[in-house]
Amino acid sequence: MLDHRLDSEYEELRRTVAEFANDVVAPKIGDYYEHNEFPYEIIREMGRMGLFGLPFPEEYGGMGGDYFALCLALEELARVDSSVAITLEAGVSLGAMPIFRFGTEEQKQEWLPRLCSGELLGAFGLTEPEGGSDAGATRTTARLDEETGEWVINGTKCFITNSGTDITGLVTVTALTESTTHSSEAGGKASTRPVISSIIVPAGTPGFTVSKKYSKVGWNASDTRELSFADCRVPAANLLGEVGRGYAQFLRILDEGRIAIAALSTGLAQGCVDQSLAYASERRAFGRTIGANQAIQFKIADMEMRAHTSRLAWRDAASRLLHGEPFKKEAAIAKLHSSDAAVVNAREATQIHGGYGFMNEFPVARFWRDCKILEIGEGTSEVQRMLIARELGMAS
């Protein structure tokens, strides 16, 4: 018989992170958010808890857990705040995971212990100003200088999370390292295909410039910046994996990351339920609590349905990942459904709160500002539909 309940270790982790979110994050995050400040104190505590090392082996300073454990933590954090949750998600699945999945033993030993402890944050430099959803349209270049044994990187990246904090240690950058020419099978014109590789660029490297923080609609307590590279030189040994494998690497990383974003989205959707239940039981109008009105009850029932279904979706995708089964379609379904659920639940929660839902001191106002990016980051909703259709065998 199938049992969807968490085992004791997962449940203990979930409960611990939930207590931390409610007792530590909730009382402080509003002030950080309002002032657009990065919550270093909260992030340090998360590091001491081992959250940044959840899915990594103990030999690299990790907690010996798995991706499912990470997603549980993300959901519980996002029930209270998404800025803190996305800092963890990006630091682990985009910052540290590429090194763990594709790095050499030397790279793992150099970077993972400090990334797992939260001493350093990692970032993933993929998106470019002219690229957007077309991640293969990379314009950033990396030329290997044979005389010095260094990669010379030039280009620009945008919307990069965790890239400019005081504890950012590295950015893994995708870049064109060469082009290859292929002849068509019919003997027609030859075509040139880009060869994309991934290269580790430590923070503070000369030629690597971090722009000021974006002025964002939401996620105001997280760090997001544009990066530029002007003859930025790093050792040849900073190549992540093999030359030309960068595209395949980031596709794998994004597939996994969509499960994490789905868990985060589920947390936001559930947080909207939590806040609406509390408010509806206290707010009185026309002589009774608004929760006594069937219209409000139906809204909250639908919100709970969306959050519950989203949770089942991301847990199914994560389970497939852990069992080594194909999970691309399920990750796309989870990301698509849960991000939509987050947006709808945030809208409904704001409506339930009325004018108070438009005030920043109420968490649902923060949820409303944070939810929309979930339909965009790590693959737009349109991209998820495209991936699902392809996995169903439909022609592209």
Task: Quote the longest CA-to-CA distance of the chain.
Answer: 82
Q: Catalogue the long-range contacts made by 5-14 (C-beta closer than 8 Å, 24 or more residues apart).
A: 6/72, 10/68, 10/69, 10/72, 13/65, 13/69, 13/72, 13/73, 14/72, 14/73, 14/76
Token pair of 65 as six digits: 């857990």
Q: Which among 348, 378, 382, 391 is annotated as catalytic?
A: 378
Q: Which residues lie below 8 Å from residue 382, measured CB to CB, with a gap of 6+?
A: 133
Residue 183, classed as helix, strand or coil, is: coil
Q: Catalogue the long-range contacts made by 347-352 (C-beta closer than 8 Å, 24 or more residues apart).
A: 348/272, 348/276, 348/299, 348/302, 348/303, 349/272, 349/273, 349/275, 349/276, 349/303, 351/299, 352/276, 352/279, 352/280, 352/290, 352/296, 352/299, 352/300
Quickly list DSSP for 213-274.
PP--SS-TTS-EEEEEEEEEEEEGGGEESSTT-HHHHHHHHHHHHHHHHHHHHHHHHHHHHH
Token pair of 389 as six digits: 């259709």
Please check whether residue 100 is in contact with residue 56, taking contact to mean a CB–CB distance below 8 angstroms.
Answer: yes
Q: Pick from 2, 19, 5, 56: which is nearest to 311 by CA?
A: 5
Residue 57, classed as helix, strand or coil, is: coil
User: Which H, E and C letters describe 193-205, residue by residue?
Assistant: EEEEEEEEEECCC
Residue 36, classed as helix, strand or coil, is: coil
Q: In this structure, what is the dihedral angle of CA atoms 150, 155, 160, 162, given to the nearest 10 degrees?
A: 40
Asked about 378 being catalytic, the answer comes back as yes
Token pair of 229 as six digits: 């590279």
Task: List residues with catalytic annotation.
Answer: 378
